[in-house]
């Protein structure tokens, strides 16, 4: 099997690509122009993908993980991430790619407030209409995590006092990275018709943000003081710095996403597909 992975230089994409290599598959790593070009084949997200791109490389499976997080304005997010994903998927279908798995997020749901969630929701709609598999990972963590969990760990290593976004009672659904990667790989290999709805990839039990931070800290031997910060105040400060072009460690849209979470995702499809996820209580080693 020859598998193409977009965003193969990113946190989840790099792990998906490594999994397929370890399984003996041929992997075409597709990376952004801003990344180390030695890590894969450059394929910008946004422009038209040349017809025949996937056919010429004999791609059997496409896993679409790429997303440009550097964009903060909706028009740019829609032009690059949404329309760019649509063009990529359309070319893959035209080139006869047999199975497509699109990585979305549990932050995408009807009524979501974050731009990230809204963009992913639009990508999902196009992907499902064309017969792709759509997966929604929860809060991904691991031994060397990236994303928001990686930032949380960095704060707790460096600071005795850690800001808590809002009250900390937001319910999140954790997913160990190994379990997410294995679920994606299984859905790539699965024969028959793809699911006709998005597949949540996370453990079914939800944890409050405060509880997650305490569990992460305890595994590092740390006991940071968690100080609630009104999320609107934090969001406004980060948004102002983004507008001024000041580099910041956390996107304002991530704060909005954490403030408005889907507290009750439907895991029936996940269970029917036999996908399982280890508990956060015993999943960090």
Quick check: 7 and 30 in contact, CB under 8 A?
A: yes
Cβ-proximal residues to 221 (8 Å cutoff; 6+ apart), any chain: none
Cα 95 from Cα 199, distance rounded (Å)? 25
Least confident segment among 135-139, 211-215, 271-275: 211-215
Task: Note the pLDDT tens digit of each residue in 11-54.
Answer: 999 999 999 999 999 999 999 887 666 678 999 898 899 999 99
Task: Note the pLDDT tens digit of each residue in 239-258.
Answer: 999 999 898 888 999 999 98
Identify how many contiguous H helices and E strands the chain contains and give both numbers.
Answer: 12, 13
* Domains contained in the chain, number: 1
Cα 258 from Cα 235, distance rounded (Å)? 11
Say yes or no to pLDDT of 285 above 80. no
Relative orientation angle of helices 209-218 and 147-158, to the nearest 10 degrees: 60
Q: Which CATH number is 163's domain given?
A: 3.40.50.720
Cβ-proximal residues to 219 (8 Å cutoff; 6+ apart), any chain: 284
Q: Is 68 helix (H, G, I), strand (E, B) or coil?
A: coil
Q: Give me the domain span that covers residue 126.
A: 2-283
Say yes or no to pLDDT of 283 above 70. no
Q: Which of 204, 244, 1 is nearest to 106 (CA)?
A: 204
């Amino acid at each position: 099997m020859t598998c193409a992975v977009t965003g193969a230089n990113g946190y989840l994409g790099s792990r998906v690509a490594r999994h397929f290599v370890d399984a003996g598959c041929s992997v075409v790593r597709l990376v952004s122009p801003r990344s180390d070009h030695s890590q894969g084949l450059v394929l910008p997200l946004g422009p038209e993908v040349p017809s025949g791109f996937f056919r010429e490389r004999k791609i059997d499976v496409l896993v679409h993980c790429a997303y440009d997080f550097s964009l903060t304005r909706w028009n740019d997010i829609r032009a690059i991430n949404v329309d760019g994903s649509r063009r990529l998927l359309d070319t893959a279908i035209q080139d006869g790619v047999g199975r497509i798995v699109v990585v979305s997020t549990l932050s995408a749901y009807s009524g979501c407030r974050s731009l990230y969630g809204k963009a992913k929701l639009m990508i999902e709609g196009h992907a499902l209409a064309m017969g792709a598999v759509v997966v929604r990972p929860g809060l991904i963590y691991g031994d060397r995590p990236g994303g928001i969990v990686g930032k949380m760990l960095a704060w707790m290593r460096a600071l005795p006092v850690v800001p808590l976004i809002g009250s900390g009672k937001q319910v999140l659904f954790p997913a160990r990275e190994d379990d997410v990667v294995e679920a994606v790989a299984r859905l790539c290999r699965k024969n028959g018709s793809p699911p006709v709805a998005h597949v949540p990839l996370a453990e079914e039990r939800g944890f409050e943000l405060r509880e997650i931070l305490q569990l992460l800290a305890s595994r590092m031997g740390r006991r940071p003081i968690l100080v609630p910060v009104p999320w609107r105040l934090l969001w406004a400060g980060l948004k102002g710095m983004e507008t001024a072009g000041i580099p910041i460690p956390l996107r304002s849209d991530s704060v909005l996403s954490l403030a408005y979470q889907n507290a009750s995702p439907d895991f029936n499809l996940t269970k029917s597909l036999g996908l399982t996820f280890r508990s956060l209580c015993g999943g960090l080693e």
